[in-house]
Amino acid sequence: MKKRFLSCVAVAMLMVFLSVSSVFAADENTGFYVGVSGGYVIPQTLTISDPDDSSNKFDTTLNNGYFVGVKSGWNTPFTKRIMALEMEYNYIRHNFDNSKYIPEIDGTIDGTIGVHALLFNVKARYPEGRIHPYAGAGLGWSIVQLGDLTIGGPDPGVQKGDIGNGFCWQLLVGVDFDITPNVAVGIGYKYLAANTTIGSKNNGDNKIYADADFKASMLTVGLTFTF
């Protein structure tokens, strides 16, 4: 899984390099940029609750996962490029930790969860020189895909998965390093939270209907091209 993920990131970076190679020699740029990113995701406890009775809930554990993302934005000239406005898409994936016993269901859960997050970010950055620290926040919309859940224990079975959507938000900090006037590499940290209702009340027997409260820390690396 990790090798396939790293290969996908490498191919994406190469494609972007080839597509914008004509701008590398420019001394000035407009401030508009595109980028690709990826990284390691450390989830907090995933809380699953009844949408009709929030007191009926239990916590599950996810294994560490990964994310891949793309973004486009603008280092605004009217703020001397201190403020950046950005649209960002991330795909996050985890497996449930099927070794953890959950008292509320008297068993374990095995399955997968994927999070699609589209966010609008506002960032403050240091514009001078070749090193650009930044901090910001984002608000957006998420789609959560919960795969079929295998329940282990005295009463085993399979709970059919479904998808849901809802608001998400994030906080982010990091630093970008210019390697040419138009190309930068970056490292960063993001804290992302999403709360979604998965399925619907009348979606059939043995199919999930639940609120999922997802929170995670994301360690990121990225490549950005400014035009």
- State percent of the chain over pLDDT 70: 86
**227/123 Cα distance (integer angstroms):** 18
Q: What is the pTM of this model?
A: 0.84
Which comes out higher in pLDDT, residue 170 or 51? Answer: 170
What's the average model confidence in pLDDT over 186-195? 97
Tokens found for residue 72: 């486009």
What digits encode the pLDDT tens for the residues 130-169?
A: 999 999 999 999 999 999 999 998 888 888 889 999 999 9
At residue 4 the predicted structure's pLDDT band, cuts being 50, 70 and 90, is low
**125/133 Cα distance (integer angstroms):** 6
Model pLDDT, residue 20: 47
**59/100 Cα distance (integer angstroms):** 10
Q: Which domains does the chain have, with CATH numbers?
A: 2-226 (2.40.160.20)
Q: Give me the DSSP letters along 50-71.
A: ETTEEEEEEEE-B--EEEEEEE
Asked whether the predicted pLDDT for residue 200 surpasses 60, the reply is yes
Model pLDDT, residue 204: 64
- Average the pLDDT over each of 28-37, 65-74, 109-118, 138-147 and give the range with the smallest value: 28-37
Cβ-contact 119, 88 below 8 angstroms: yes
Which comes out higher in pLDDT, residue 164 or 17? Answer: 164
Q: Which amino acid, 29?
A: N
At residue 15 the predicted structure's pLDDT band, cuts being 50, 70 and 90, is low
If you average pLDDT over every residue of the chain, what do you get?
A: 88
What's the average model confidence in pLDDT over 200-217? 85
Vertex 65 angle, CA 59 and 69, to 5°: 120
- Taking every pair of C-alpha atoms in the chain, what is the biggest distance, in angstroms? 67
Asked whether the predicted pLDDT for residue 18 surpasses 80, the reply is no
